[in-house]
């Protein structure tokens, strides 16, 4: 068996080549994204700068790649102080909620000398992708960075595209600073994901990449998955309102539209037991749409993915909601809390008529990054747990192992794994001769 | 806006077509696997039976597709009663450990009338894939089924290939019965994954699929990911032993070989601060290999992926172990528990000289399905949490929302989301006129 002496000189060689493992298999990926990833992997910063010149029309170098403290100070000058104030208020709530999600390491012992446990360790370095352009949402910066920092992640590396002058959206910078992002690099697209996944001269390699992005970002995240972890790939936003005759149709309509305005592909669905409410909500939707600034998007979203379903019973309505498994679910019914107990599948459940969905987007504290496209059947909101990993701890004393060693050997032999059995037996070989 | 009345007749139509959402994008997948998946999705049982005839040479029909109670009773006749006994002993430990992982739903309230919380809901139905042939391990059945049942999953659907007589490995059936699998279908390969992911006339559609398999199974799991959840795709097994001059070289060598015997691609690595131990372990590895039944596999694995690294200090050894991020890590050093505190990245940590790795494979209780290929940097052992999902709960009273409603409107307007702002403002429109 090979013996290699570790030294300062061979450290990298050891980890990269000597301790090589059988490579993981990946399916073929979208060609352009693969090419970008390979190029960034091979050429580091140079490739990143090349793509940024091509796609974002910005000239970057090692000197202006990372956002400086001066740029952040400048961003504070440009942002409405009222927004800074709201961000700070929201952060108190967001931190407070995520703090409650933290899990402790634990152990369990027996007097025979066994110790079993679960050690919780934060990931060391995490990447947060923040889209640029029209979809630059400071609230999403808070929702991605806070759970990572609350989990104890040492370094949160943010990437976000800059404009052709090399400038980043100031509200995004302020939100990043307030939330505690450690470093910010001016890069977007698949090249940002590749830089985070493999590291470059400037960008450190991370353990996990989170945050929404366009199709290139989504494909790149899928391609690097396995080398790093990723969050789930989010689809268009959705709202499902469960309402009965006690609901206020103006509130229902306004809430449906709050999601419809996100995207022409967004879903806004009402399931109600009241035909009267159905009609009133439909009228209110028309009326509101006329006066809202994003009415073009809203109209397309409502026409294509909007729907009011009239159910014949409360149970039928609840069943349909569980089957749809919506990202956001609002309940405005006579017994909203009782109905909540019957909801199996939903990202976030807003209970009662003053719990409008945007309350959750911005302020209440729970994360607004939620499972879409029916994945609430098996996925959860982004949370502190997404930024830690666990290790099992196993310790047996000689006495404890001796008591059961023959059981283990028996099990191993049944599976024809004789070296497994041998590794236990060798500890008791002398006394059994 | 469309209004649709729910009825018994249109229920399916509503969920499948009327409530349609923008489809998710998936990258291209291995052609054959995609074809199998599409065929099973379109033709259900008929396609499954066709592939089973082709790949497993077994003739299945709706009558003999599902394993019956009689077949399970027959399996108990065929299995060594001593194995049944060991399985039951191991199950006590495995259930006990996983029971401790269960998380409660929680809420937090303020007297202003706010309620925030996290509701934990088990997944409704989960699929467990169990490979057939030489890699049929009853211990893996226990490790996949127990966390699902402990989480509260209503139905655990197992699939496993049968032989040409339509018979399933009896030890696998006994383990499944003991662990509490609810239904078992005789199908393997990509067709099993497709049946679980989309459902057929016989096999119910599940929310998540777990369990190891060959390359077709792995690709199929990757392809259906998003439609259902999956566990991480495991690479070859690995062991890393951290040892100093106090370690017993026979124990170290035996433990290295216990993983090497799994697979020619398995990794067995020792990192030690003692050159003397390095030499002794190398000799013991040679001696043991000669007498072990799987010596052909062991030799290839040790030659290709085995290594003994001699580090110049304990800290250097620990750093190298953290960088390797092994699936299994054994610590046999003077201060093994202190060294454990310095381990950031490992699937399971075995502390002390009587905590041999197979103890964890079979008996101690923690899960043996662990992150491989360095993914312990960001992945965790399979656990109860993998079979639940969370929903955020948000409730604000009128009073509570009134106090902060202008903050939310401000934030929404900064993001140019005026319908978001409107949904809050509409609740206070009368008093502000």
For the segment A86-133, what is each residue's pLDDT rounded down to a tens digit? 999 999 999 999 999 999 999 999 999 999 999 999 999 999 999 886
Asked if A375 reaches chain B (Cβ–Cβ under 8 Å), the answer is: yes
Number of Cβ within a 10 Å radius of residue A285? 23
- Binding region of B for substrate: 237, 259, 262, 328, 361, 415, 420
Q: Are the beta carbons of A2 and B393 separated by less than 8 Å? A: no
Q: Check whether A328 has a pLDDT greater than 70.
A: yes
Asked if A133 reaches chain B (Cβ–Cβ under 8 Å), the answer is: no
CA distances from A150 to A130, A387, B392 (A): 19, 9, 18
Q: Are the beta carbons of B305 and A22 separated by less than 8 Å? A: yes
Q: Given B327, B330, B357, B409, which residue is catalytic?
A: B327
What confidence category does residue A31 fall into, taking pLDDT thresholds of 50, 70 and 90? confident
What confidence category does residue A24 fall into, taking pLDDT thresholds of 50, 70 and 90? very low
Average pLDDT over residues A151-179: 96
Judge whether B217 and B170 are in contact, CB under 8 Å: no
Query: Distance (Å) from the C-alpha of residue B76 to the closest C-alpha of chain A?
Result: 14
Q: Given A98, A284, A328, A405, which residue is catalytic?
A: A328
The Cα–Cα gap between B225 and A269 comes to 25
Question: For residue A367, which residues of chain B lie inside 8 Å, CB to CB?
Answer: 392
What DSSP character marks residue B331?
E
Say what the pLDDT of residue A2 is.
Answer: 67
Q: Given A327, A330, A357, A409, which residue is catalytic?
A: A327
Q: Are the beta carbons of A344 and B260 separated by less than 8 Å? A: no
Judge whether A142 and A94 are in contact, CB under 8 Å: yes
Judge whether A99 and A366 are in contact, CB under 8 Å: no
Asked if A379 reaches chain B (Cβ–Cβ under 8 Å), the answer is: yes
Residues of chain B under the 70 pLDDT cut:
1-2, 6, 11, 14-30, 133-135, 432-433
Question: For residue B206, which residues of chain A lie inside 8 Å, CB to CB?
Answer: none
Q: Are the beta carbons of A354 and B137 separated by less than 8 Å? A: no
For B399, name the nearest residue in chain A, comparing CA atoms only. A354
Q: Are the beta carbons of B226 and A233 separated by less than 8 Å? A: yes
Q: Are the beta carbons of B124 and A344 separated by less than 8 Å? A: yes
Q: Which of residues 204-233 of B touch A (CB under 8 A)?
A: 207-208, 215, 218-219, 222-223, 226, 228-229, 233
Say what the pLDDT of residue A3 is.
Answer: 73
What confidence category does residue A26 fall into, taking pLDDT thresholds of 50, 70 and 90? very low
More confident residue, A153 or B266: A153
What digits encode the pLDDT tens for the residues A35-79? 999 999 999 999 999 999 999 999 999 999 999 999 999 999 999
Q: Give strand ranges (E) for B341-387.
A: 346-351
Q: Check whether A233 has a pLDDT greater than 60.
A: yes
The Cα–Cα gap between B171 and B83 comes to 8
Question: For residue A353, which residues of chain B lie inside 8 Å, CB to CB?
Answer: 427
Asked if A381 reaches chain B (Cβ–Cβ under 8 Å), the answer is: yes
Average pLDDT over residues A158-175: 95
Question: Collapsing DSSP states into helix, strand and coil, what is residue A153?
Answer: coil
For A113, name the nearest residue in chain B, comparing CA atoms only. B354
Query: Distance (Å) from the C-alpha of residue A48 to the closest C-alpha of chain B?
Result: 23
Q: Are the beta carbons of A396 and B4 separated by less than 8 Å? A: no
Asked if A57 reaches chain B (Cβ–Cβ under 8 Å), the answer is: no
Q: For a pLDDT cut of 70, what percent of chain A falls above it?
A: 94
Q: Check whether A212 has a pLDDT greater than 60.
A: yes
Say what the pLDDT of residue B27 is.
Answer: 44
More confident residue, B145 or A215: B145
The Cα–Cα gap between A203 and A183 comes to 9
Q: Given B71, B178, B328, B409, which residue is catalytic?
A: B328
- Binding region of B: 129, 191, 214, 237, 259, 262, 328, 361, 415, 420
Sign of CA dihedral A72, A74, A80, A84: positive
Number of Cβ within a 10 Å radius of residue B54? 11
**Widest CA span in chain B:** 90
Query: Distance (Å) from the C-alpha of residue A251 to the closest C-alpha of chain B?
Result: 7
Q: What H or E segment, with its residue span, contains residue A230?
A: strand A229-230
What DSSP character marks residue B386?
G
Q: Are the beta carbons of A258 and B417 separated by less than 8 Å? A: yes
Complete domains list, chain B, with CATH = 29-230 (3.40.50.1980), 238-378 (3.40.50.1980), 396-428 (no CATH)
Q: Which of residues 168-207 of B touch A (CB under 8 A)?
A: 171, 207
Question: For residue A349, which residues of chain B lie inside 8 Å, CB to CB?
Answer: 119, 391-394
Say what the pLDDT of residue B57 is.
Answer: 94
Strands B106-110 and B114-122, bridge-based pairing: antiparallel
Asked if A141 reaches chain B (Cβ–Cβ under 8 Å), the answer is: no
A423, A425, A431, best to mutate vs chain B, most B CBs in 10 Å: A423
For A215, name the nearest residue in chain B, comparing CA atoms only. B25
Average pLDDT over residues A394-413: 94
Question: For residue A420, which residues of chain B lie inside 8 Å, CB to CB?
Answer: 258, 261, 358, 361-362
B358, B366, B406, best to mutate vs chain A, most A CBs in 10 Å: B358
The Cα–Cα gap between A393 and B278 comes to 25
What confidence category does residue A28 fall into, taking pLDDT thresholds of 50, 70 and 90? very low
Say what the pLDDT of residue A425 is.
Answer: 94
Asked if B366 reaches chain A (Cβ–Cβ under 8 Å), the answer is: yes
Burial environment of residue A90 by CB neighbours within 10 A (0 to 12, 13 to 18, 19 or more): buried
The Cα–Cα gap between A327 and B140 comes to 34
What ipTM does this complex have? Answer: 0.91
Q: What H or E segment, with its residue span, contains residue B58?
A: none
Q: Are the beta carbons of A377 and B323 separated by less than 8 Å? A: no
Q: Which of A3-7, A249-253, A306-310 has the lowest mean pLDDT?
A: A3-7
Active site annotation includes B327: yes
**Widest CA span in chain A:** 90
Q: State the average pLDDT for chain A.
A: 92
The Cα–Cα gap between B352 and B346 comes to 16
- Structure tokens, A386: 């997404």
| Helix-, strand-, coil-residue percentages of chain A, each rounded to 5 | 50, 20, 35
Q: Are the beta carbons of B251 and A417 separated by less than 8 Å? A: no
Q: For a pLDDT cut of 90, what percent of chain A falls above it?
A: 78
Report how many Cβ contacts below 8 Å link chain A to chain B: 502
Asked if B138 reaches chain A (Cβ–Cβ under 8 Å), the answer is: yes
The Cα–Cα gap between A147 and A136 comes to 19
Judge whether A181 and A156 are in contact, CB under 8 Å: yes
Cα distance from N-terminal residue to C-terminal residue, chain B: 29
Say what the pLDDT of residue A20 is.
Answer: 59
The Cα–Cα gap between A300 and A21 comes to 51
Q: Are the beta carbons of A123 and B374 separated by less than 8 Å? A: no
Task: Please name the member of A18, A118, A420 whose beta carbon is closest to the beta carbon of B101.
Answer: A118
Active site annotation includes B405: no
What confidence category does residue A433 fall into, taking pLDDT thresholds of 50, 70 and 90? very low
Question: For residue A30, which residues of chain B lie inside 8 Å, CB to CB?
Answer: 27
Question: For residue A305, which residues of chain B lie inside 8 Å, CB to CB?
Answer: 20-22
* Residue A183 main-chain phi, psi, to 5 deg: -145, 150
Asked if B10 reaches chain A (Cβ–Cβ under 8 Å), the answer is: no
């Amino acid at each position: 068996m090979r013996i290699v002496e570790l030294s300062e000189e061979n450290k990298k060689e050891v980890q990269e080549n000597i301790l090589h493992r059988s490579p993981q298999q990946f399916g073929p990926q979208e060609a352009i994204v693969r090419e970008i990833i390979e190029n960034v992997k091979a050429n580091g910063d140079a490739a990143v700068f090349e793509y940024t010149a091509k796609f974002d029309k910005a000239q970057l170098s090692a000197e202006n790649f990372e956002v400086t403290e001066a740029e952040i100070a400048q961003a504070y000058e440009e942002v409405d102080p009222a927004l800074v104030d709201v961000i700070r208020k929201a952060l108190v709530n967001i931190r407070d909620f995520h703090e409650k999600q933290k899990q402790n390491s634990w152990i369990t012992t027996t007097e025979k000398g066994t110790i079993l446990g679960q050690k919780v360790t934060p990931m060391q370095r995490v990447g947060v992708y923040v889209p640029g352009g029209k979809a630059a949402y400071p609230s999403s910066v808070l929702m991605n960075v806070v759970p990572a920092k609350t989990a104890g992640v040492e370094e949160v590396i943010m990437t976000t595209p800059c404009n052709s002058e090399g400038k980043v959206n100031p509200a995004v910078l302020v939100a990043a600073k307030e939330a505690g992002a450690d470093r910010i690099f001016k890069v977007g697209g698949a090249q940002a994901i590749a830089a985070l996944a493999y590291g470059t001269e400037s960008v450190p390699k991370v353990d996990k990449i989170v945050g929404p992005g366009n199709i290139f970002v989504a494909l790149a995240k899928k391609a690097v998955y396995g080398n790093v972890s990723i969050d789930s790939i989010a689809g268009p936003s959705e709202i499902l309102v469960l309402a009965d005759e006690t609901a206020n149709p103006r509130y229902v309509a306004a809430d449906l539209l709050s999601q419809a305005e996100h995207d022409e592909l967004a879903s806004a669905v009402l399931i109600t037991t009241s035909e009267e409410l159905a009609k009133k909500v439909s009228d209110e939707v028309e009326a509101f749409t006329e006066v809202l600034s994003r009415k073009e998007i809203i109209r397309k979203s409502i026409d294509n993915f909007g729907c009011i379903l009239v159910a014949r019973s409360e149970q039928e309505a609840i069943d349909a909601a569980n089957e749809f498994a919506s990202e956001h679910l609002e309940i405005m019914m006579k017994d909203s809390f009782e109905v909540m107990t019957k909801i199996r599948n939903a990202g976030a459940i807003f209970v009662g008529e003053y719990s409008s969905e945007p309350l959750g987007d911005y302020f209440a504290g729970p994360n607004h990054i939620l499972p879409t496209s029916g994945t609430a059947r098996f996925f959860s909101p982004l949370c502190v747990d997404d930024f830690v990993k666990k290790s099992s701890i196993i310790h047996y004393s000689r006495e404890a192992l001796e008591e059961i060693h023959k059981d283990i050997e028996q099990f191993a032999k049944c599976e024809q794994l004789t070296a497994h059995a041998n590794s236990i037996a060798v500890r008791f070989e002398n006394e059994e001769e």
